[in-house]
Amino acid sequence: MKFLRNLLATILGVFIAIFILFMVFAAIGSAFSKKDKAIVKGNSVLELNLENKIMDDYSVASPFAEFLDEKSKVMSLHKILTAIENAKTDDKIKGISIKTLGINAGMAQTQAIRDKLLEFKESGKFITAYAEYYSQKNYYLSSVADSIYVNPVGGVDLKGLGAELLFFKDFEDKYGMKMEVIRHGKYKSAVEPFIANKISDANREQMTELLQSIWSEYKDDIAASRNKTVAEIDTIADNLLGRNAKLAVKNNLVNKSIYLDEYESLLKNALNIKEDKKLNTVSIADYIKSGKGRVKSTAKDRIAVVYAQGEIKYGEGDETYIGQEKIIKALRKAVKDKKVKAIVLRINSPGGSGLASDMIWRELELTKKEKPLVVSMGNYAASGGYYIACNSDKIFAEPTTVTGSIGVFGIIPNFSKFADRIGVNAEQVTTNKQSLGYSVFEPMTEQFYKVTEEGIEDFYETFLERVANGRKMTKEQVNEIAQGRVWTGKQAKEIGLVDELGTLDDAVAYAAEKANISEYKVKNYPRYKKNFEDAFSKMPFMKVNTESIIKNEIGTENYTIYKNIKAFSELKGIQARLPFMMEIK
């Protein structure tokens, strides 16, 4: 007994010591953060580094956020765009230098930043770009610059778009693990990897057209900025004519191949700074910290922007996934706020839970009876993401937004053959025929399949009705363009799923017009709060990086397979989500 008391006292003492140590570090971190407030000096260059994860919005109130350096790991798209807009009229900023190893953002987000940079150029200030080596997305963004430079041993990876899909049917057969699939929509191919060992003609068709539509945006924008034809861009991509610095210069993808110190000298020259003097640069992250990531306004009226980003899951929701509870609460707050005159729902989601999607849809129906409701689509607004968009007053999408995917599926793991092989036998005891429901250790019964299929078909019909009513179409018209097929925003506008091609700013401006206001502030919803337990769990000594451990043990390619199977095995209920898992290369 004495031993247990001593053990408990020791454990308690350790936790108290860790807590005190944590608080001391937090205080030190807070003190340093106050001293390190970003200061923008005169005659500066704004440096665009986009390697950190970019989300449409990141509004997380967390204790010790500064100490844990959480905010520096994630950047808000709307703050980046606002900062670039503010730099246009900031006398201290003379130009922008795009200098980033990569861009941790989706295509629609990247295109939005590029479009804002085009607007920046109208101020007469310069934009230059430098990279040791340009990835395709980085080059797409950087092509907006007046001059582009690359390291002499670097190059430009301009090669067109490709997608790779993994299929697990043979793997399932080999090990006796099976995913039971029920779906509606010939293009609803999210489940295809588990029921086939190669891509279907329908899926190849939709993916080819999707990639071609996105690639056309790449080509058109790059060609316009580099004074080339679209055909020339295709020729360069087909023959990899930017694969080294010499070819990149020869084919006018870049202006010159130089080293970083030479690039800095060019910037000094542009600012009339002597070679032996320091070049003043401010990162986009620090520029935002200085207060330039927000719009200053004294207007009383407000437009609410409700951010719905991530997969749709039944539950509360946080900054990484959409839960109906947080979104519904945010919508109700915006409706009750008398200063809010209109609401914009910003969607960046591949879809997810059908139940949660419908609950959000219902709240949006109630919302638009009170105030104008406009939707802005980001990288994705597919399946469940489109489900919650379809009943708004107007839908804006980026040209490269992946949307549509009007279809549903259910996927249920079954390990009966695997259990037989390893000698595991499951026995059931029940009071009624359906008491147990479904067991992963027994083959799926015909009755269970029929009941589940009925649920899938019912939800698909509901999906068609929601879209038909929201888009002023017949169910037959919607069914023609549904079947789980995905479209880009550009294609979606042509077939009536989207009203306008435009940015979040365009959607906000339209919402203000609908509300008959000319001066307004934008208020973002929802705000997420992390308690002490959440913050404490982020400490390096409080967590184990299981992802890295597994990846190191089984290899990157095998880990990708494991992660895909694990993600689908965790799905619950009817799913309305993007119809494929793919990596665009």
* pLDDT higher than 70, residue 11: no
Average pLDDT for residues 436-441, to the nearest whole number? 81
Assign 286 a pLDDT band (cuts: 50, 70, 90): very high
User: Which of 97, 383, 392, 405 does the annotation list as catalytic?
Assistant: 383
Q: Could you tell me if 345 and 389 are in contact, meaning their C-beta atoms sit under 8 angstroms apart?
A: yes
Q: Which CATH superfamily is domain 37-159+240-292 in?
A: 2-enoyl-CoA Hydratase; Chain A, domain 1 (3.90.226.10)
Which residues is 321 bridged to in the sheet? 311, 318
pLDDT band of 452, cuts 50, 70, 90? confident
Number of H-type helices and E-type strands within the chain: 22, 26
Q: Is the pLDDT of residue 465 over 80?
A: yes
The pLDDT assigned to 306 comes to 97
* Gap between the Cα atoms of 72 and 104, Å rounded: 13
Mean pLDDT of the chain: 85
| Least confident span in 129-138, 148-157, 172-181, 316-325 | 172-181
Residue 121 Cα distances to 220, 251, 413, angstroms: 18, 24, 54
Structure token digits, residue 199: 């891509």
pLDDT exceeds cutoff 50 at 471: yes
What is the Cα gyration radius of the chain? 26
The per-residue pLDDT for 558 is: 52
Coil, strand or helix at 548: helix
Per-residue pLDDT tens digits for 397-423: 999 999 999 988 777 888 888 888 888
Task: Compute the distance between CA of residue 220 and CA of residue 224 in angstroms, rounded to an integer.
Answer: 6
Output the six-digit token pair for 446: 């015909």
Based on the residue annotation, tell me whether 376 is a catalytic residue of this protein.
no
CA atoms in the 13 A half-sphere facing the CB of 78: 21
Residues 322, 349: contact at Cβ < 8 Å? yes
> Whole-angstrom Cα distance, residue 346 to residue 363?
15
> pTM for this structure?
0.83
- The neighbour count for residue 248, using CB atoms within 10 Å, is 25
Residue 345: pLDDT band with limits 50, 70, 90: very high
Active site residue 135: no
Superfamily of the domain at 302-411+470-584: 2-enoyl-CoA Hydratase; Chain A, domain 1 (3.90.226.10)
CATH 3.90.226.10 maps onto the chain at: 37-159+240-292, 302-411+470-584
Residue 114 has pLDDT above 80, yes or no: yes
Q: What is the mean pLDDT of residues 326-341?
A: 97
Which of 188, 268, 394, 490 is labelled catalytic? 188
